Amino acid sequence: MKTINRGLAAVTLAGAASISGQAAADSVDRAAFQELFNEPVTTSATGAPQRATEAPVNMTIITQEDIQRSGATDIPGVLEGLANVDVMRSTRGQTDVAIRGYNGGMTPRLLVLVNGRQVYLDHYGMTNWDAIPVQLSEIQQIEVVSGPNTALFGFNAAGGVVNIITYDALRDDIDQVTAAAGTNGYVAGSGVWTMRAADNFGIRVSVGGFDADASDGDDLLSNAGFGYGALDPSARSASLNAVYALSDKTRIEAEATWSLDERLERYQGSLIEGDYETSSLKLALFSDTSLGMFSAQIYSNNLDLTDNLSLGAIRFDNAITVASASLIMKPAPAHTLRVAGEYRMNEYDDGLGTLSYDVYALSGMWNWQATSALSLTSAVRFDTLELEREGDTLPLMPFTNADYSRDFSEWSYNLGAVYKLSDNDSLRFSAARGIGSPSLLEYGFQLPVPPPGPGVTAFYLGDPATAPTIVYNAEIGWDHNIPSINGRLRASLFWQKNEDLRMLGAYSQVFSLVPTVAGTLAGNIGESEMQGFEIGVEGQQGRIHWDAQYSYRDISDDFETLTSPTAQANFEDASPEHVVTGGVMWIGDRWEFGADARYTSETQQFGQGAVLTGLSSVDSYVQLNALAAWRASDTLRLELSGHNLLEEETQTVGVSPVERSVVLTLRSSF
């Protein structure tokens, strides 16, 4: 069912139609280029537009057609069709996604963006997928990069990148409403409207949301005495995107978004009620100049998060502002260059003071088409981060504001070579150094906690001395087109080393004896190494589309002794060693039927069931999904999707079991 056809997917879907020509300046007109090259194009590999088959990184592109045929109700559900993507559903409302293991929940290793604007939340270093203000029906494609791509995207593109690309408000006419209802109290709806106010002015508005019942697993956890009752998750979001073409060569884009999400989320030994409210504003300029493709953008993201813990409510107020500019040039026939600069201001208000950092970055990329068969790419980026804190601190706090005045500089690179062995075969070599910056909480969290004894003052703290995580990655990939099945085989072999992995609550420390001040401190916990391989094959014969993928990872941790009793870090046992996915779909004129399955091998997980400390075994499991869709007319589509059909409840790598569910969805395009 989750057929990921990079080369085969059609451009159009019911209700989507191109409404403009294409010589206008970019942002890149992906639909037009996909039509031209008969394959998706991307900018998420090097910043320059590239055909998917020529990208010098391990990339999968999921098209809108793939999304519809996945039967998924959220973006993680779409990504679950990829064997190298790990989706952890810890509660009914909390879903965490990682690439190639290392999914400890609220993972900081995956940078998630919407049209280049990060929706990754810097306060903690995580992504709340339900708070992303995008409706599935307005997504043109999802570009998934496996491995670091810091040289393009900066900090936190350490383990991978998910860049969600929406349709263009001027070029693509998307008008669609959906209504869905299912078991477990699931009710959802969305609407996307595109208005062309003039030949050179388009607006797209989208709204959506869902309500669901907490799962039985959430009830189990909350009844076990972890402080909070099961919470019925819900989300609402809205976005407005406007494009104004100043000329054939220059366009301005503006975007405003808002989202609200309530969920029960797990953090180490605690269950937390998290109330997220996000908003953003973005302005971007794109121009085809005589020098090349120029783009500049500025955006501001705001997060207002209230975490209700058993200790009380904690409010996180995080604002980031990012300004960047880039120029892509082709000064000689075989050479493409990209130069870029970025400024980032990140601010976290903890109620007493403000912790902030500024990041200044310069980056460059050089692609050399050395021969008609060999393409070489080098990308380098240099980032300087300056951290500071202003305002009051808690009494007896072991850190003063001066302790937070620090800076560091890091460089990152992505090197790649693509060699076409034949019309049907290409080899891809890549090496990368990625950077994962400590989150704002890892730098400067200050939380008083109940003292372990009389006369003791205790804190839960970030540590301003926490070092960034450095990720080295090397990979060899082989792409083989198989015309006889109208498909392809992809295989890759990779090695990765993560230095200075980080976590909150890693170390217990006594800061002074008189008065007695103790704390649980964030910090670097050691390193971890991984090697693995992936192989996938997909094909299409007549009306049948199918795919199968296998991902193997062998992870070895080398951690310090974590002195905090609640510290939990174990990637080598918690990451599944084997993941197999496969799907088949029959596509008729009116009807579509499909099924897909995902096998995940045995893991050791923290905090299963009612016990939130210590490792316990989670048996291997298979999740089976199915979809039946009926296109009643060109504008009306009805879908019945079943998820996790083999068992009423399946204990997956998340905390709470995943329940069987059935969802009926009605899509109407107009």
Partner 1 sequence: MRLKFVAALVAASMLASAPALATTSERDLQVMARAVGFVEGLPRGNVTVAVVDGPGADAIVAAMGAGVAGGGVTLVPRKVAVGALAGSGARVIIVPEGQGGSHAAIAAAARGLHAVTLSTDMACVNSGNCVVGVAAEPRVEIVVSRAASSANGISFAQAFRVMIREI
Chain residues in the site for partner 1 (CB under 8 A) = 20-26, 28-29, 32-33, 35-39, 41, 48-51, 53, 248-249, 288-289, 292-293, 328, 330, 333-334, 336, 369, 372, 423-424, 481, 483
Nearest CB to partner 1, comparing residues 223 and 424: 424
Q: Please write down the HEC assignment for all residues of 15-64.
A: CEEECCCCCCCCCCCHHHHHHHHCCCEECCCCCCCEEHHHCCCEEEEEEH
Spatial neighbors of 501 by CB under 8 A, at least 6 apart, are 469, 524, 525, 526, 527, 528, 559, 569
Torsions phi, psi of 399, nearest 5?
-110, 140
Name the minimum Å distance from CB 48 to partner 1. Answer: 5
The answer to whether the CB of 625 falls within 8 A of the CB of 596 is: yes
Between residues 37 and 193, which has the closer beta carbon with respect to partner 1?
A: 37
Task: Kindly tell me which of 211 and 288 has the beta carbon lying closer to partner 1.
Answer: 288
In whole angstroms, the minimum distance from the beta carbon of 141 to partner 1 comes to: 16
Tell me the closest approach of the beta carbon of residue 41 to partner 1, in angstroms.
Answer: 7
Q: How far is the CB of 327 from partner 1 (least distance, A)?
A: 10
Decide whether 118 or 297 has the Cβ nearer to partner 1: 297
Burial class (CB in 10 A: 0-12, 13-18, 19+), 37: middle
Instruction: For partner 1, give the closer residue by CB, 168 or 261.
Output: 168
Nearer to partner 1, 24 or 626 (CB): 24
Round to the nearest angstrom and report the end-to-end CA distance of the chain.
26
The minimum distance between CB 333 and partner 1, in angstroms, equals 4
431 half-sphere exposure, CB direction, 13 A CA radius:
3
How, if at all, do strands 95-99 and 110-114 pair? unpaired
Shortest approach of partner 1 to residue 1 CB, angstroms? 27
CA separation for the pair 244, 325 (Å, rounded): 19
Closer to partner 1 by Cβ: residue 423 or 589? 423
Shortest Cβ distance from residue 346 to partner 1 (Å)? 31
Three-state DSSP at 442 gives: helix
Count of CB atoms within 10 A of residue 543's CB?
12
Work out how close the CB of 382 gets to partner 1 at its nearest, in angstroms, rounded to a whole number.
Answer: 24
Nearer residue to partner 1 within complex by CB, 48 or 418? 48
Q: How far is the CB of 495 from partner 1 (least distance, A)?
A: 30
Q: CB nearer to partner 1: give 353 or 477.
A: 477
C-alpha separations of 71 from 81, 162, 310, 639 in Å: 11, 20, 37, 8
Query: Which residue carries 């905390």 as its tokens?
Result: 655
Nearer Cβ to partner 1 (327/396): 327
Strand order in the sheet with 139-146: 58-63, 139-146, 160-166, 110-114, 117-118
Distance in Å, CB of 283 to partner 1, minimum: 21
Which candidate, 218, 263, 315, places its Cα nearest to that of 127? Answer: 263
Q: How far is the CB of 157 from partner 1 (least distance, A)?
A: 22
Length of the chain: 670
Q: Which is nearer to partner 1, 338 or 598 (CB)?
A: 338
Token representation of residue 284: 């971007």
DSSP result, 562-582: P-STT----HHHHS-SEEEEE
Minimum gap (Å) between residue 246 Cβ and partner 1:
15
3-class SS of residue 499: strand
CB nearer to partner 1: give 337 or 624.
337
Identity of the amino acid at 81: G
Q: What is the CA radius of gyration of the chain?
A: 24
